[in-house]
Every structure is written in C-alpha cells, then in structure tokens.
Amino acid sequence: MTIESKAEAFLEMLAAERGASANTLAAYAADLSDAATFLARRGTSLATADTAALAAYLQGLHNAGLAARTQARRRSSLRQFYLFLLREGARADNPAADLAAPKLGQPLPKYLSESEVDALLAAARDMKGRPGLKAVAGLEILYATGLRVSELLALPGGALSTDAAMLMIRGKGGRERLIPLSDAARDAAAALRAALSGKGAGPRFLFPGRDPRQAMTRQGFALLLKQVAHQAGLDPARLSPHVLRHSFASHLLAHGADLRSLQKLLGHADIATTQIYTHILAARLQRLVQAHHPLAVSTTTP
C-alpha cells in the first residue's frame, strides 16, 4: 500500500526542515505505511484515524510480539505525523498524543575492556597490506574520537593530514562538533593515505571502497573489524563500530570525564541520550566515595 499524500508531505518536511537522513526517512515511511495498512483494514486511514484506532494498532503490535523498542518507535512516528497535521491545519487534534508508551528496558551499552582494545590494535598491526592499514586507522580513529561509522567513512582523503589538534565533524542533523585528535590516530591515517596514494593523486576518501571513487561501505568495514576480532582471539559478534563508540565513551567516563563533555564529543543533541552511560559514572563515583569519604569502611589492614 502506498503512503498517503499527507504522509508524503510529512516526510518532505522532515527532509527539508530537519535534515533527516535517508535511513531515517525510510524508517518513518515504513512505520506510517504499516499503520496505514492496518487502518485500511478497519475502514479508516492515516488522515482520519482516531485515538481508538491507533491504540488498536499499537495493541496489535504488542500482541504480535514486536520488541518494545519497535513499538515505541512506531508510536513516536505516529505522534510526530499527527503533530505535523495539527500544525498544518489538516486536523484539529492529535489522536496519537495520549497513546500509552510501551515499557522499555534500559539495555546497558556493550563495550570492550581497555585490554581488549589493546589486543585488537595489536592484531590489526599484524595484518598485512592495505586491509591492515585500514584496520589500524579505523580502530585508532574510532577509539580516539568516538565517531559514528558513517562519520568515519565519510572522512575525505586529506583528513587528519595536518598538525591540527582538533577535527571538525558534521554529524546528525548537520550539527558540527570539534573532537580532539590523538597522535596515534593521525599517524595511522598518514600511513593509510601514503599506501593509497602511491605515485598518483591522493584518495578521495580516507577509507575508499573497491571503487576508489566511493567510500568503503559500512558492511565492508564491519567485516574488516570481524576479521581483526578473530585474529585478536575475541568473539567477532562482540565487535562493531558502535561497540568501539561505546568503548570510547565508557572509558572516558571511567577515567574522569563528565556527561556534558561526553555529550559534546559524541554529538548527542540531548543529554538524555548520553545518560545511558551513567552506570559507568555511578561506579566511578562509588569508588571515589569509598576511597575518600571519612566514614567509608577501610579495607586495608591496620
């Protein structure tokens, strides 16, 4: 079933006014199309549905066993769609405003230990040829900066080629942020660039794909990381670009960083997103109290 014209206008607004990515637009389109199909079977449509019909749709998702996070995303899509219609004067109400939210667990971010990151870097350095150079550069840059994989693979060929201490990144929603660079990340980028350039012009992308005119794909980079994990003796299922981003954040907090600074480094628009790492912060603060509070019980022998 095709998405109704009002839904198409909503998607155009997301792209034009909010800079929504192609993946985000595709997710919204799929959510609205699924709801439209359900509503059509009930003799109504997205444009005319009431709260009862939308509640029945969400209940159907629950009965079908869809994950709570998927249910929550579709509820959010509907709420934003009807808010758009309300603001455009296409409806006098938002029938999704009072829909009950599914109960979400708070999964802890998966991250590696510092020793496991060291093992990955050692394994990458043992890899031969360009794959090894790509693996080292990717690991060094991701772990030193916390970049999203899309941000990493979009880096131009000349990235990290100067002595600049900071890297300017344009992330989600077109938001720009500055990220400190490590010497190891800069050196790894230089070694990769030298191997790619040869005697000709430098590469268009720091991480080119099979077609040097295009960036390496996410899938290709993820496969490279799996190979490194295998060489390092780690379960490849535990490693992904996002796990390295979580590791960057978790290790920073464990060593004294604060949530506000971490929010800026990760490019989160809302501090609530960064708060998934509070378990790391809580553990650090507990150790701080145990070590320095005068009433803390000492574990040392007098």
pLDDT of residue 56: 93
Structural domain count, the chain:
2
pTM: 0.62
Tally of CA atoms within 13 A in the half-sphere of 181 that contains its CB: 19
102 within domain boundaries = no
Same-domain pairing of 154 and 271: yes
Contacts 24+ apart (CB under 8 A), 257-263: none
Q: Which of 37, 70, 87 is the last residue of a domain?
A: 87
10 within domain boundaries = yes
Same-domain pairing of 76 and 118: no
Same-domain pairing of 130 and 276: yes
Token code pair at residue 269: 């628009």
Q: Which positions are catalytic?
A: 148, 172, 242, 245, 268, 277
95 within domain boundaries = no
Same-domain pairing of 118 and 222: yes
Q: Which of 138, 136, 10 is nearest to 77 (CA)?
A: 10
135 within domain boundaries = yes
Residue pLDDT tens, the chain, 302 long: 345 678 888 999 999 888 888 899 999 999 999 999 999 999 998 888 999 999 999 999 988 988 888 888 999 999 999 999 999 998 999 999 988 877 665 566 788 999 999 999 999 999 999 999 999 999 999 999 999 999 999 999 999 988 888 999 988 888 899 999 999 999 999 999 999 886 566 789 999 999 989 999 999 999 999 999 999 999 999 999 999 999 999 999 888 888 899 999 999 988 888 888 877 766 666 766 777 777 665 544 44
Same-domain pairing of 236 and 150: yes
Question: Domain span at residue 36?
Answer: 5-87
Asked whether 181 and 163 are in contact (CB, 8 A), the reply is: no
32 within domain boundaries = yes
In this structure, what CATH number is given to the domain that contains residue 82? 1.10.150
In this structure, what CATH number is given to the domain that contains residue 125? 1.10.443.10
Q: Provide CB contacts within 8 A for 64, sequence distance 6+.
A: none
Asked whether 181 and 165 are in contact (CB, 8 A), the reply is: yes
Same-domain pairing of 123 and 258: yes
pLDDT of residue 108: 65
100 within domain boundaries = no
pLDDT of residue 301: 44
Asked whether 119 and 235 are in contact (CB, 8 A), the reply is: no
